[in-house]
């Protein structure tokens, strides 16, 4: 029974590097291997979903933001066998933008030049465009 509890809830293996999920409310506790977690996070980020649910079927708990940051850390060489650092960096950046847009809602805007997301407190007037745009 103990081995079953330590298996990845997705691929059912216990021979890989695994993570114990905290969940946003610290209630989850499901075990997920790094490979399955990266694939799960990647799937949600590509759909521009800022709130990522636990990979365990029927678990309603959200993945803690620190866990997402940990598996997407581009500076962690130990994650290289699972996903290259460039891909993890792009996913982390895309996730950050998605979270900002979710938090700010309609008040978020993107710079037309660099597409950097800023809140409305950084609005300036660009005379060339005659409209309000953001600068970095």
Residue 49 included in any domain: yes
- Can you give the pLDDT at residue 40? 94
- Tell me how many domains the chain contains: 1
- pLDDT tens track of the chain, all 136 residues? 454 568 888 888 877 788 887 765 667 788 899 999 999 999 999 998 889 999 988 888 888 898 999 999 999 999 999 999 999 999 999 998 888 888 777 556 666 566 666 554 444 444 444 444 444 4
Residue 16 lies inside a defined structural domain of this protein? yes
Q: Is residue 112 included in any domain, yes or no?
A: no
Residue 13 is assigned to a structural domain of this protein: yes
Q: Is 121 among the domain residues?
A: no
Which residues of 11-130 form beta strands (DSSP E)?
Answer: 18-20, 31-33, 109-110, 117-118, 123-126
d(CA 108, CA 13): 42
The pLDDT, as a whole number, for residue 101 is 80
pLDDT at position 105 is: 73
CATH at 55: 3.30.40.10
Domain for residue 123, yes or no? no
DSSP summary character for residue 124: E
- pLDDT value at position 27? 73
Residue 80 lies in a domain: yes
The predicted pLDDT at position 129 comes to 45
Specify if 113 maps to a domain: no
**Domain residue limits at 73:** 2-107
Extract the tokens encoding 23. 């969940």
Which pLDDT does position 131 carry in this prediction?
44
Whether the pTM exceeds 0.75: the reply is no
Tokens for 118, please give them.
């800023």
């Amino acid at each position: 029974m103990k081995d079953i509890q330590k298996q990845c809830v997705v691929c059912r293996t216990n021979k890989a590097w695994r993570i114990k999920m905290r969940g946003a409310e610290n209630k989850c506790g499901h075990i997920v291997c790094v490979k399955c977690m990266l694939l799960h996070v990647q799937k949600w980020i590509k759909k521009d979903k800022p709130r990522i649910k636990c990979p365990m079927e029927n678990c309603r708990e959200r993945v803690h933001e620190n866990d997402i940051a940990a598996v997407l850390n581009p500076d962690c060489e130990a994650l290289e066998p699972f996903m290259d650092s460039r891909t993890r960096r792009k996913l982390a950046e895309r996730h950050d933008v998605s979270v900002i847009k979710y938090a700010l809602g309609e008040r978020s805007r993107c710079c037309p030049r660099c597409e950097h997301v800023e809140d409305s407190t950084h609005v300036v007037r660009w005379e060339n465009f005659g409209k309000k745009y953001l600068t970095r």
